[in-house]
């Protein structure tokens, strides 16, 4: 049993949110292992998003996208909407909700 197993009770996160947090941590661990095994003399990409892509590809971004979408449903705000849209674009190579704005999404999702 680890802290991640009980994250929903320890930090008052709902169970679906805790699931997405665990997936993010799992991706972070995989990236850590990837870079620990990397040849220290080899050149690394200069920007951290490029290093994430090199280590895990799109699958590294999916848990963050799922967490952002979950948070958007639980507590909608423009910053979370924009983050979910950015991550959706990276993961799916298409605009989030066909490019719908936060205001339009809020209006349609709460009507």
Do residues 7 and 22 touch, judged by C-beta distance below 8 A?
yes
| pLDDT value of residue 14 | 86
| pLDDT value of residue 40 | 86
| pLDDT value of residue 9 | 64
Per-residue pLDDT tens digits for 94-108: 999 999 999 999 999
Which H, E and C letters describe 33-57, residue by residue? HHHHCCCCCCCCCCCHHHHHHHHHH
List the structure tokens of 9. Answer: 């009770």
Per-residue pLDDT tens digits for 6-27: 666 666 788 888 889 889 999 9
HSE-CB at 89 with a 13 A cutoff on CA atoms is 11
State the Cα–Cα distance between residues 91 and 59, nearest whole angstrom: 8
- Name the percent of the chain lying above pLDDT 90: 62
Q: Is the whole model's pTM more than 0.75, yes or no? A: yes
| pLDDT value of residue 7 | 61
Cβ contacts of 105 within 8 Å, gap of 6 or more: 81, 97
Per-residue pLDDT tens digits for 27-78: 999 999 999 998 989 998 989 899 999 999 989 999 999 999 999 998 899 9
């Amino acid at each position: 049993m680890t802290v991640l197993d009980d994250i929903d009770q320890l930090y008052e996160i709902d169970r679906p949110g805790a699931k997405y947090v665990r997936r993010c941590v799992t991706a972070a661990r995989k990236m850590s292992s990837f870079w620990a095994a990397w040849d220290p003399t080899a050149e690394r990409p200069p920007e951290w998003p490029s290093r994430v892509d090199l280590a895990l590809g799109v699958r590294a971004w999916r848990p963050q996208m799922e967490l952002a979408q979950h948070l958007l449903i639980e507590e909608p705000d423009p910053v979370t909407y924009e983050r979910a849209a950015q991550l959706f674009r990276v993961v799916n190579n298409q605009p989030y909700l066909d490019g719908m704005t936060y205001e339009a999404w809020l209006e349609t999702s709460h009507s």
